[in-house]
Amino acid sequence: MRGLRNNNPLNIRHSADRWNGAAETQTDKEFVQFKSMVYGYRAAWRTLHTYYKRLSDRKKHFTVENIIGRWAPPTENDTKQYIRMVLSLSSIGGKENLLPPANPMGYTKLSRMLAAMTVMENGIRPHQVDMEAIYQGYKLAFPENAQELDESLLCEDEYGEW
């Protein structure tokens, strides 16, 4: 629940990055604190985008397994259990090559993955995940794609419900 208290649902650690929406006062020594949950999810989307670029540069696929392997390394987590939980909750195949985070057509699967990661990081139930904050975080992370996202979701009649 620390991630929820910090408005940082995926527990992004402090680094040299200067995050949009970071709280002015940072009292947690390990994890970034954000002004709102929307900014916490914005940071998660931007981090996924960075992962996508790095995996692409290394000619690796953008899969749940590769993402979680980096996000929750075995030195700090039971990575295999984390992957199993995310795959189970998100209904995504472990080796499925996902669309880039900035591509609105990949939003639904990636939003389910972020929701599942939120469950894993905070020990909450799936119905407690704020899907609207994930959606608004995407729109802050990729404002140039916000309209296209809305149009594609109208076609799907959902915005990452699970």
- Going from the first residue of the chain to its last (162 residues), give the mean pLDDT of each consecutive group of 10, the final group possibly shorter: 96 94 96 98 97 95 95 93 96 91 94 97 96 96 90 63 52
pTM score:
0.92
13: which strand partners?
Answer: 31
